[in-house]
Chains A and B, each alone.
Chain A
Amino acid sequence: EPEVTQTPSHQVTQMGQEVILRCVPISNHLYFYWYRQILGQKVEFLVSFYNNEISEKSEIFDDQFSVERPDGSNFTLKIRSTKLEDSAMYFCASSESRAKGIGTNEKLFFGSGTQLSVL
């Protein structure tokens, strides 16, 4: 079965540094997402991306965050200047969604996550 691939699986960085988390969504999927899960807490939505632009973002997704689809396969999340509170598991996800709106049965496929530790 096709899967969403995330690299690296673990990332350690110093506070204030930039990090880029990488994802390869499933090839025929149209919607891409980033979620995060702080240890012991809920999974939280960050951003969704469709047709090469952000379609929805949460309050967490501030100016320190950006997403990009630099080529036909990769989808990246950049954190410009990491803070201690950015330490979390970051999940990439994708969905097919040929149809939009009411009636869409959308199965979201998640990657295995990148554990980001900010020191």
Chain B
Amino acid sequence: AQKITQTQPGMFVQEKEAVTLDCTYDTSDPSYGLFWYKQPSSGEMIFLIYQGSYDQQNATEGRYSLNFQKARKSANLVISASQLGDSAMYFCAMRSLGGGRRALTFGSGTRLQVQP
């Protein structure tokens, strides 16, 4: 079974500062993928970044980077230069990359509020 833990129910950050959202995971699968999604107040789920367990380098997508520490089973999202539009709910998720299973397991989310 897979489990995602997001221990920060809410976070505040000042505009233009960087913020780290924590995510730890547990799985017995040898190969897996880790995802971050953003859910603004309008409700849609927006893909942000992906990291494969086999990837040697940490993933980056614009202002988003993933601090992947495999031994610690953590996949923290770093948002640099926060903007007011970054205020949203952020979900960490994972899925197995083998065995035909495709279901994403989500964490409980972190609500980020960017302050001017």
Contacts and interface: CB of A to CB of B under 8 A. Distances in A.
Interface residues of B, number: 28
A110 interface: yes
B106 interface: yes
Interface size class of chain A, counting residues whose CB lies under 8 Å from the partner chain:
20 to 34
Interface in A16-65: 31, 33, 35, 41-45, 48, 55-56, 58
A105 B44 CA distance: 21
A89 B103 CA distance: 17
B50 A43 contact: no
A118 interface: no
A113 B46 CA distance: 12
A113 B44 CA distance: 6
A112 B40 CA distance: 11
Interface string B74-116: 0000000000000000010101011011111111110000000
Given A42-B106, A111-B44, 14 more contacts: A35-B104, A43-B45, A44-B106, A56-B101, A56-B102, A101-B98, A102-B31, A103-B54, A104-B97, A105-B52, A107-B47, A109-B47, A110-B47, A112-B43
12 contacts: A41-B108, A42-B108, A42-B109, A43-B104, A48-B103, A58-B103, A102-B98, A103-B54, A104-B33, A105-B50, A106-B33, A106-B95
Task: Give 9 closest A-B pairs by Cβ, nearest first.
Answer: A110-B45, A45-B103, A43-B106, A112-B44, A48-B102, A102-B31, A42-B106, A102-B97, A113-B43
